[in-house]
Amino acid sequence: MYKKWTIKEIKEELIDIGIKLEYPTNLKVEISNRATKRMGAFFYIKEKESIVPIKFVFAKRLIDGNYPEEVVREVIIHEYLHYYCDTKTGLSNGHNKFFKSMCLKCGISSKATFSYKSINEDIYIKKHVKIYNIYCRKCGRLVCVHRRRDAAERKIKGYISKCCNSRLECKINNI
């Protein structure tokens, strides 16, 4: 188990990188229980020719002691750099050359994807993930699989199976 991070500690990291780049931030920081694929995000509103920053959001599983401090710090810096690049240019930079050059300047990976394994990834997934299998009601063939209940419900209500042109049904599997 690694260090568990608090919102206060995340804000301190954001302040530190802001001081280094001489571009401070005091944005709201939130923790998301729902985030499973992304570890962090920077939210903003586009107004005329500028970007109005709103908040940073980090995944609960990132800060719960599943990853080393360096990994968490890298995600925090990565999201800060989205804030920095977007507000400096007034555009959403995504992972363009400017953003990647800032990543390298700050000593973090310029990759867009999170590729670190958690120390207890298997335990986390087994405890927290339900899989919604969608089947054809007529022949019982597996049509698709969803992780989110709302997506599974939408599929059942709005689609029919290709195999039998029949309605769909959902069965829940806890992993």
Neighbour-count burial for 12-23, b at 16+ CB within 10 Å, e otherwise:
ebbeebbeebee
Q: How far is CA 166 from CA 1, 25, 39, 143, in A?
A: 48, 54, 39, 11
Tell me the pLDDT band of 19, cut-offs 50, 70 and 90: very high
pTM metric for this prediction: 0.69
Could you tell me the domains of the chain? 7-111 (3.30.2010.10), 127-174 (no CATH)
Please report, as a single letter, which amino acid is at residue 100: K
Poorest-confidence range of 24-28, 92-96, 170-174?
A: 170-174
What confidence tens digit (pLDDT) does each residue in 76-125 have? Answer: 999 999 999 999 999 999 999 999 999 999 999 888 777 776 555 544 44
What is the distance between the alpha carbons of residues 67 and 132, in angstroms, rounded to a whole number? 28
